[in-house]
Amino acid sequence: MFEQLGLIGCGLMGGSFALAMKKAGLVKRVVGYSKSPSTTDRARQLGVIDVEAPSALLAVAGADIVLVAVPVAATEATLKAIKHLVTPQMLIMDVGSTKADVVQAARRALRDQVGSFVPAHPITGREVSGVEHAEADLYSGRQVILTPTERTFTAQLQKAQDIWTALGSRVTSMSPESHDAAFAAVSHLPHVLAFAMMNSITGQDTGDDFLSLAGPGFRDFTRIAASDPKVWRDILLSNRDELIAQSKLFQQALHTIEQAMQKGDAQALEDMLTLASETRAHWRMGAKRK
């Protein structure tokens, strides 16, 4: 049981964590701060936080657990702003979708205190953002990836694992670099493709007509294109090298399919679609590796 969660960033991810911690009986009070005072105010009205803090530093004052839930590029400034009040007993986590840059930012900002920081990435989200969409069950049944470094305190890592497990998540650990390579492939690139798909259609004169005809396949394929632009701007820039490498591999796979279409090679095309279809049909989200 924690005394005080200092929540920095009261959006979908941060707000949902606060609600989950309260629901699980893991925290006595939540002191929240958001860059926009109206967000912090709404978070308090909605019961997501108990007390509004006028700064990130004041949200951390008296906290034994801190969650940084801001766009990844804002991580370093946020950690610098709270450094004076970080103690060796405190657990600090983030929820960012990239990890190598977050670890570097934490090293620079926290220096000797970096051992208190456990980089975390819960594999969840919604296409809507904002504290009004926060929900206590957002993390339940989902994977959470921790990317501790050699300087992370074992006590903090254990606490982090226990908390996410108590919230119903399945915890996995890996290096920040392995994390970023994997999520370039299975998350960041799909987002880029969905964004590009929308812009390709709206860039055509007949784009509105086309969109009026689109059905459930399009709906699901493009759901992630509605994601928060500032959050995703930071993710794409932060992980750009892995992402562009994955994009090149994807474009090769696309080109192979296009070639079979252009040649009219029905058998080659069917073979490629069968491989994709069977792989996808047998895939289960969150299933343990064979």
Q: Between residues 38 and 262, which has the closer beta carbon with respect to its own copies?
A: 262
Three-state DSSP string of 82-126: HHHHCCCCCEEEECCCCCHHHHHHHHHHHHHHHHHEECEEECCCC
**What is the total count of residues that contact its own copies (CB under 8 A)?**
95
* Strand 120-122 with 143-146, pairing: antiparallel
**Alpha-carbon radius of gyration of the chain:** 21
Q: Between residues 108 and 223, which has the closer beta carbon with respect to its own copies?
A: 223
Q: Between residues 155 and 254, which has the closer beta carbon with respect to its own copies?
A: 254
Q: Between residues 75 and 247, which has the closer beta carbon with respect to its own copies?
A: 247
- The amino acid sitting at 15 is G
**Within 114-153, which residues bind its own copies (CB under 8 A)?**
123-125, 127-128, 142-143, 145
- The amino acid sitting at 39 is T
**Within 227-246, which residues bind its own copies (CB under 8 A)?**
227-230, 232-233, 236-237, 240, 243-244, 246
Site track for its own copies across 160-179, x = CB under 8 A: ------------x-------
**Within 4-43, which residues bind its own copies (CB under 8 A)?**
none
3-state secondary structure of 287: coil
Q: Which is nearest to 233 in space by CA: 105, 39, 106, 70?
A: 70
Site track for its own copies across 175-214, x = CB under 8 A: ------xxx-xxx-xxxxxxxxxxxxxxxx-x-xxxxxxx
Identify the H or E element spanning 4.
strand 2-8
Q: Confirm or reject binding of residue 215 to its own copies (CB under 8 A).
A: yes
Q: Between residues 111 and 263, which has the closer beta carbon with respect to its own copies?
A: 263
